Every structure is written in structure tokens, then in C-alpha cells.
Amino acid sequence: MTEVLNGRDRKGNQDLGNKMVTDDHLMCRFQEGDESAFKRLLERYQDRIMNYVFRIVGDYDTAVDITQEAFIRVYMNAGRYLPGSRFAPWLYRIASNLAINEIRRRKRWRFFSFDEPINSDEKSMTFELPDESILSPEANIIQKEDVESVEQALEKIPVKYRTPLILREIEGYDYEEISKILNIPRGTVKSRLNRGRSLLKTALYRQDKSQQTAFSLKEE
């Protein structure tokens, strides 16, 4: 699965020569009965949605199923799409709801856990949230860490903090877009991102300490 699709920007527009084919244009064509337009949207977004959902649910097969279901819902509910709207946030909102519902379903059936979760109310290191919506590369802790370590740490974070963190730090959406995708106030987005970054730093610190302890035991 690839996260960055060559020739496409984050908003899903594709440059074909001198002509920019937007998501909105493709959706309008699909509403008029052009099945190939939907296929192009599928090709444009399937890898991105798959990666996004996988980081939320942490299971490949489940992520595949949710990604397929998300596109089925787009197909079946194309008539609800308003021409001139942003397609990507609409798609991400569908995928987010499906992924979050899956996490909630798991919790109803999970009676025992051998992993130590991060308590969302525990005192931990703080990560100051800047006023600007766009973070500098220096402030992006996900970019600074090993991808595998970050994905393991993300699994320890409650989904309500994990999801906006993925949308902001990995998918690149701003606060207003995340607010629309998750259907929560902009202020809630900012506070959850602040808390999510703090929890992620705590989880990464614990992982690092655990790895150091394991290494020292092997050396003895």
C-alpha cells in the first residue's frame, strides 16, 4: 500500500496534462451515470483510506473490509453528495465512522487485555499546541520517530485521540477539515490533538524504556 500517490495532491486532484480533474468533477460525472468516474475515485483514494483505517483499527484484514465498505457506501449514497463540496472529507468521514464503530464493537467483546493501555486521564508529559493550524516539521513528532514505533504507540492511545492525530499529522488535514470529518467542534479537535500528542509521547517513551530494559537484560 502506498501513502503518497504520484501526480496527485492531498485534495485528490489529478493533473492530466494541462487539465486538472477534480474529485468533485468525477463525483458529478458518476452521479450522471459514468461508472468509470467512480473507478477513478476508487483508484485515487483506496490506498490512502486503507492506510488511514489500518492505523485506527490496527488489523490488516479489518482495514480491508472497512475500506471496501466505505467505498460501497459512497457508491450507494452518491446521490447525497452535493456538487461543489469536498469529496475527500466526506469519504474520510464515512471511513472514520466505520473504523470507530469497529473499535467500539471490539470493546464490547473484550473482557481481558494483556496489554497495558495508556490511561487518557493519567498525568504525562505535555506537548504545547501552537495557535497556528499548520504545524512546522520540527513540531511533528510522528515525522521524527520510526514509523513502526509510532504505529505501535498509536494502538495504545484511545481512539478519540488517535483518529484526529492521524488525520492531522499523517493525512495533513487542518483543524476545520478534521472538525467536519469527525463531526466535532473545532475547539474539541485542538484539545484532542493536544492530548493525543501528549499520550503518543508517553507511549513512545514507554516503548523506548522497555526496549532498553530488554537489551540490558540480554547483555547481562
CATH of domain 126-215: 1.10.10.10
Model pTM score: 0.70
- Mean per-residue pLDDT, 167-178: 94
Query: Degrees (nearest 5) of the Cα angle 27, 32, 33?
Result: 95
For the segment(s) 1-111, the CATH number from 3.40.50.300, 1.10.1740.10, 2.40.37.10, 1.10.10.10 is 1.10.1740.10
Q: Is the pLDDT assigned to residue 103 strictly greater than 80? A: yes
Q: pLDDT class for 13, splitting at 50, 70, 90?
A: low
Residue 214 is predicted with a pLDDT of: 46
Q: Which residue ranges does the chain devote to CATH 1.10.10.10?
A: 126-215
Q: Which residue ranges does the chain devote to CATH 1.10.1740.10?
A: 1-111
The Cα 89–Cα 23 span in angstroms is: 11
Could you report the per-residue pLDDT of 24-64, keeping only the tens digit for each? 999 999 999 999 999 999 999 999 999 999 999 989 999 99
Bridge partners (DSSP) of residue 20 are: 15
Residue 111 is predicted with a pLDDT of: 44
Q: pLDDT class for 168, splitting at 50, 70, 90?
A: very high
